[in-house]
Amino acid sequence: FRPRDICVISPTGSGKTFAYSIPVIQYLINRIVTQIRVLIILPVQDLANQVYKVFQNLCENTTLRVGLATGSSSSNMFYKPNAIGTQTICLTDILIATPGKLVDLIMNNENGGRNFHLRNLEILIIDEADRMMNETQLQWLSTIEYAVHGSSSKFYCPCLVPDAESQQCNYKVDPFCACSTFDMRKTLFKILFSATFTTDPEKIDNLSLYDPLLININSGNDNNNLSEKMKSVALPENLKELMVICDQDKKPLILWHLVKNLGYQRILCFANSIMNAHRLDHLMKKLPELIVEEIHSRQNIHKRAKILKKFENGLIHILISTDVTARGMDIDGIDCVVSYDVPRNETAYIHRIGRTARAGKPGTAITLISPDQLKHFNIIIRRSHKSTTTNDDQKQMIEKLSIKNSDLKPLIGIYTKALEQLKNDAQSEWKKDVQIKRQQLRNKSSFKS
């Protein structure tokens, strides 16, 4: 019988990568011919690199070969022609890829290339599945299925496929047809991992899952109702959640206070946009005895990797990031996660706080809230803790971190000078931009004359 597809809801930092990497290696360890049999899809290049390193370490003393399809990867890295050039030889057993790059490889092969195919694919693993389901309406998934099932993917069931086509095994299987329960040929086994999961039935249907089994790794939750499980989220057990209610202009001062007076040495700070992260980075760098860096998607991957390495080694006190860049990244040793900007929704909040308290270690998550944002944040908290607590528990879920004015008073003088210096720097930059634009206009006028 055909195996059921699996959806796993698991807290960030609970070891999802090991949960699928070790079984995959055990499954392939005795393979004879190298073929791409396992495909792992991740949303961003940084996360793909991280998972690739895990597989490389685990496969070090085996004959299994791991490939990474991101950025400038070409099909020649995964296949090569044989000695006489009539066929290709596969160089990869496990392929780790981002959806955009994988689609490029598949489409280039369709447009005349012969060095890449997924005809032997058996297992598809989708990490950060909730985010991946929003990627251009899952067009990448249909492209993968086309590459697996071949040009006869218009046939949806073995019972509708002519005998000649059935010998080639080039067809899709309708999960709602009775014949799909029999293993009449190799089917694509799908495994999805995420800390949250969508409740949108249309998105779930687009995944073409066969009799999906939902596994919710959430201690103390014995709810067997599927619809309630789909709405649930998984939070780290040793996580302490706090909030600070303050005016918007006091947020940088409080962030400094966390390092200066409360002793946090490695803070991952979230802003809602690259612009906000950039402004905060400029201000915090004006403060003494504080090492601050920002990380965002506009930086190249090598620069991001270098900054993350410094942060892991304890050389950076505060790392300022956006949700997109840090999501899914396994950064070791984070003392505290600070939401400088209140997250837009509960999904963003869950993935932020999941950067700390990983692998059973304790961690703290602090959200800085202005009074007008309190109502929105309370909605986020109710939704994110809905499946794990009762209504009475929710009231005590987030503690208020009390910060007295006397705690901040010794810092205010230096902080005010830093603000003034930042203002002067901004004015200087503006004047430089004006001068450059004027010079460009003069050059343009003289060229026309």
* CATH code (residue 101): 3.40.50.300
Answer whether residue 220 shows pLDDT above 60. no
Whether 176 and 252 map to the same domain: the answer is no
Answer whether residue 176 shows pLDDT above 70. no
Would the CA dihedral through 154, 156, 162, 164 be positive or negative? positive
∠ CA 72-42-49 to the nearest 5 degrees?
Answer: 55
The number of domains in the chain is 2
Answer whether residue 444 shows pLDDT above 50. yes
Question: Half-sphere exposure of residue 170, counting CA atoms within 13 Å on the CB side?
Answer: 13
What value does the mean pLDDT take over residues 156-165? 57
What value does the mean pLDDT take over residues 212-229? 61
Higher pLDDT, 210 or 377: 377
Q: How confident is the model at residue 216 (pLDDT cuts 50, 70, 90)?
A: confident
Answer whether residue 353 shows pLDDT above 80. yes
Q: Is 263 left (phi over 0), alpha (psi -120 to 50) or beta?
A: left
| pLDDT one-digit tens code per residue, 290-312 | 999 999 888 888 899 899 999 99
∠ CA 345-351-356 to the nearest 5 degrees?
Answer: 135
Whether 64 and 150 map to the same domain: the answer is yes
Q: What is the DSSP letter of 327?
A: T
Higher pLDDT, 200 or 32: 32
Domain that holds residue 176: 6-231
Answer whether residue 154 shows pLDDT above 70. no
With H, G, I as helix, E, B as strand and everything else as coil, classify residue 246: coil
Would the CA dihedral through 78, 128, 135, 121 be positive or negative? positive
Higher pLDDT, 394 or 54: 54
Answer whether residue 95 shows pLDDT above 60. yes
Whether 133 and 259 map to the same domain: the answer is no
Which of 49-53, 251-255, 360-364, 407-411 bottoms out in mean pLDDT, i.e. has the lowest?
Answer: 360-364
Q: How confident is the model at residue 359, as a pLDDT?
A: 77
Q: Is residue 101 part of a domain?
A: yes
Q: Is residue 419 part of a domain?
A: no
Q: How confident is the model at residue 26, as a pLDDT?
A: 97
- Amino acid in position 137: Q
Answer whether residue 219 shows pLDDT above 50. no
Which helix (H) or strand (E) segment is 205 a member of?
Answer: helix 201-206
Whether 182 and 267 map to the same domain: the answer is no
With H, G, I as helix, E, B as strand and everything else as coil, classify residue 19: helix
Closest Cα partner for 304 from 330, 283, 325, 273? 325
Q: What would the DSSP string read from start to end of 334-396?
A: --EEEESSPPSSHHHHHHHHTTSSGGG--EEEEEEE-GGGHHHHHHHHHHHTTTTS-HHHHHT
Answer whether residue 156 shows pLDDT above 60. no
Strand boundaries in 152-309, DSSP class E: 189-194, 213-216, 239-245, 267-271, 292-295
Whether 280 and 226 map to the same domain: the answer is no
What value does the mean pLDDT take over residues 225-251? 77
How far is residue 349 CA from its own chain's centroid? 13
| pLDDT one-digit tens code per residue, 106-116 | 988 765 556 78
Closest Cα partner for 273 from 338, 337, 321, 331? 321
Whether 324 and 384 map to the same domain: the answer is yes
Q: How far apart are the C-alpha atoms of 210 and 442, rounded to whole Å?
A: 67
Q: How far apart are the C-alpha atoms of 102 and 132, rounded to whole Å?
A: 14
Of 211, 231, 251, which residue is a domain's last?
A: 231
Q: Is residue 17 part of a domain?
A: yes
Whether 221 and 305 map to the same domain: the answer is no
What global pTM score does this model have?
0.77
Q: How confident is the model at residue 32 (pLDDT cuts 50, 70, 90)?
A: very high
Of 207, 231, 255, which residue is a domain's last?
A: 231
What residues pair up with 7 in beta bridges, in sequence order? 192, 214
Whether 214 and 306 map to the same domain: the answer is no
**Assigned token pair, 70:** 């991101």
Instruction: Kindly report the average pLDDT of the chain as a whole number.
Output: 84
Q: Is residue 247 part of a domain?
A: yes
- Amino acid in position 218: N
Q: Is residue 418 part of a domain?
A: no
Q: Is residue 428 part of a domain?
A: no
| pLDDT one-digit tens code per residue, 399-429 | 999 999 999 999 999 999 999 999 998 888 8
**Assigned token pair, 396:** 């005590």
Whether 111 and 216 map to the same domain: the answer is yes
Answer whether residue 278 shows pLDDT above 90. yes
Answer whether residue 232 shows pLDDT above 70. no
Whether 225 and 342 map to the same domain: the answer is no
Q: How confident is the model at residue 224, as a pLDDT?
A: 44
Whether 29 and 155 map to the same domain: the answer is yes
Answer whether residue 185 shows pLDDT above 70. no
Answer whether residue 319 shows pLDDT above 80. yes
Q: How confident is the model at residue 208, as a pLDDT?
A: 83
| Cβ(344)–Cβ(272) below 8 Å | yes
Q: How confident is the model at residue 227, as a pLDDT?
A: 47
CA distances from 118 to 170, 261, 265, 312, 342 (A): 12, 56, 46, 37, 42
Whether 340 and 367 map to the same domain: the answer is yes
Q: How far apart are the C-alpha atoms of 420 and 417, rounded to whole Å?
A: 5
Q: How confident is the model at residue 222 (pLDDT cuts 50, 70, 90)?
A: very low
Q: Is residue 447 part of a domain?
A: no
